Structure 1
């Protein structure tokens, strides 16, 4: 059978539920005679990339969520979502191993839903990655503002941080960014540890603690969006696995990520909340004493910078591979290849800068993009991955789904969970923006 993805059958083209091609060529093909080798990542460095990107801003919002709903619900949700994220990561990795030519969510969308699915999931990945860059450069701007005691205009700091982010995103392969992932992981871990030390050194004297807090659905879901999207990094998994030397080791990286993230999230949120109480802000570093805020922001700055570069690299890589797949410009040092690559990295970072500086409610808008896309990429779409392979690759069609009815039910529930998070998260984010405009608290574009 053909070795290209285009020749694999998918539901939109009609099928009698027979086996489809699985002996497809790896997305980058044999690299022996290539100038640029992509498949160089070990599973350890993939784990570093995953931790650096996922734990980054997610950690800093969790104590505030605990202040809204209480210790018990927040902790239960954090642990449950960590386990759920590991389960969906397993489904995603199995799908990638079954379809080596899948490089990103758009490729997966094409297999399952045809050309429309490819465009929607590709566009969603790019949008989410660009907003991820914007979120990181805003965190970087906040860190620089804190360190400089508001010494420069916020837009100037945002521009400086964006420029460095762009430069760090330029390496063509993730293997050339290994050191970024490792340093970024060390930085965010040290930032969290020092934040806990700082909270303990200067606890809030009037703090109150709550095991559970009765609240409305809106306030509760608004608070738990922190834990829900603290694991929102699965959209990058296909791209990372595509550049591994041994893709079958990807599950080892997923285990390291989820165990580390879940444990760290739980410990960090409880410790910071216990010392700072219900008044803890988001991000939590703002609630520390001035000295500890500067120390932690200085270290966290490294992670914000490198995570932003990774997001920018991801958006650029999806488009670049789409343009030059199986072309010499993908794996050879050509003027056209490098020109397009540089432009794509610049465009991703520049768009993130413009959005972050020009949209006063950018952080809330990021919540909408997370609800629309991350809810599916991290949770819901994994159910479709399992159903697709069970239906087509097993060759049993509906009979295969009935025979494995327990897994089928679990896959369907996974899809429904993604749909619920998508709808509820979008509603909450839109209402938050509407309330901000109604109260007159929205700032001005490009304001210092």
Structure 2
């Protein structure tokens, strides 16, 4: 509804905040907070994806090949990161869906054939573990940061509501199926990356390669959004320049973004902790707080 009120201006989450808060007290502060949280969310998301790509490659090449895995990830992701639109990345969407389906089939298949159930620990999770789990759950459903950009590139934005309903329902079912099945098979022994329950062998390598491809696509989606936002701030005219000037600036942005993500991963190499941190700091307010706040403000202004 908020996008429908400003179809020509609300092309990004930050632009939506500007449209809704225009002329209200504290609009500048709200816009600054939203912009900051957006950067935290997208860079955090990209760091998580980079960590998963490297972790998956290590399952394929071996745990002692960390440097090689980072090098491969950079060599593959950086050239592909030069795709500057969500529409340009959409070609990989079907492959990404097939890849995650492959991962689920292998992991859940392992759960179903597992004969001995893991002994569940009786200890109650610590407050930090409980908070981290809740934040990770929020992170899992935090796609609102991409909604405006997605609608802006759709042929008919009115189809977005139906698409969102279908995909959200499917995601919820997949999350429930995988979570319940994996926990039933392995109990509290499940590592943050569930693929680590797979024994060494061809199935593990296939699943890891498929996961690497899936999260690489996720990285490219986030890269297209945050790269565009940075490009507009640094060079408004060049952001729409598809020549040498625009490409060179985009290369610098994407290279710096990847370096920053690598630094974040080096500081927080634990997947569950990184997801919990990003979810708590940015995903929660961007997904559940500000959308409701913007709707209330817009409704009051409309009378």
> How does the TM-score come out when normalised to structure 1?
0.61
Q: Per residue, is there more helix in 1 or in 2?
A: 2
| Aligned: 1:343 with 2:284 | no
Judging changes above 3 Å, is the alpha-carbon distance between structure 1 residues 371 and 204 closer, same or farther for their aligned structure 2 residues? farther
Q: Which has the larger radius of gyration?
A: 1
User: Residue 159 of structure 1 is aligned with which of 53, 58, 71?
Assistant: 71
CA-based RMSD of the aligned residues comes to 2.5
User: Residue 312 of structure 1 is aligned with which of 200, 223, 226?
Assistant: 223
Q: Say which SS state the counterpart of residue 223 (structure 2) adopts.
A: helix
Cα offset for 1:109?
2.8
State the distance in 2 between where 1:164 and 1:198 align. 30
User: Residue 13 of structure 2 is aligned with which of 92, 105, 108?
Assistant: 105
Cα offset for 1:263?
0.5
Q: Say which SS state the counterpart of residue 282 (structure 1) adopts.
A: coil
Q: Say which SS state the counterpart of residue 84 (structure 2) adopts.
A: coil
Q: Deviations over 1:245-292 (max 9, x none)?
A: 111111122112211100110111111222222312111111122234
Q: Say which SS state the counterpart of residue 192 (structure 2) adopts.
A: coil
Q: Say which SS state the counterpart of residue 10 (structure 2) adopts.
A: coil
Q: Say which SS state the counterpart of residue 290 (structure 1) adopts.
A: coil
> Hey, what does 1:170 align to over in structure 2?
82
Cα offset for 1:119?
2.6
> Hey, what does 1:95 align to over in structure 2?
2
Judging changes above 3 Å, is the alpha-carbon distance between structure 1 residues 391 and 97 closer, same or farther for their aligned structure 2 residues? same
Cα offset for 1:390?
0.6
Cα offset for 1:216?
5.3
State the distance in 2 between where 1:95 and 1:349 align. 32
Cα offset for 1:124?
1.9
Judging changes above 3 Å, is the alpha-carbon distance between structure 1 residues 307 and 388 closer, same or farther for their aligned structure 2 residues? same
Cα offset for 1:213?
8.3
State the distance in 2 between where 1:213 and 1:252 align. 43
Q: Which runs of 5+ in 1 are unaligned?
A: 1-93, 397-448
Q: Is the 8 A contact 2:13 2:148 kept in 1?
A: yes
> Hey, what does 1:128 align to over in structure 2?
41
State the distance in 2 between where 1:214 and 1:360 align. 25
Deviates more, 1:375-384 or 1:114-123: 114-123
> Hey, what does 2:195 align to over in structure 1?
285
Cα offset for 1:171?
1.5
State the distance in 2 between where 1:127 and 1:228 align. 15
| Aligned: 1:301 with 2:222 | no
The residue correspondences of 1:21-420 to structure 2 (distance < 5 A) are 94-100=1-7, 101-111=9-19, 112=21, 113-152=26-65, 154-201=66-113, 203=114, 205-208=116-119, 217-291=127-201, 292-323=203-234, 327=237, 329-359=238-268, 364-392=273-301, 394=302, 396=303
State the distance in 2 between where 1:186 and 1:313 align. 22
Q: Deviations over 1:310-337 (max 9, x none)?
A: 2222210112234555x4x444433322
Q: Deviations over 1:401-443 (max 9, x none)?
A: xxxxxxxxxxxxxxxxxxxxxxxxxxxxxxxxxxxxxxxxxxx
Judging changes above 3 Å, is the alpha-carbon distance between structure 1 residues 123 and 156 closer, same or farther for their aligned structure 2 residues? farther
Higher relative contact order (CA 8 A, sep 6+): 2
Deviates more, 1:99-108 or 1:330-339: 330-339
Q: Is the 8 A contact 2:49 2:218 kept in 1?
A: yes
Q: Is the 8 A contact 2:135 2:279 kept in 1?
A: no
State the distance in 2 between where 1:219 and 1:324 align. 43
State the distance in 2 between where 1:360 and 1:227 align. 19
State the distance in 2 between where 1:299 and 1:386 align. 39
The list of structure 1 runs, each at least 4 consecutive aligned residues, that deviate by more than 6 angstroms after superposition, is none
Cα offset for 1:118?
2.4
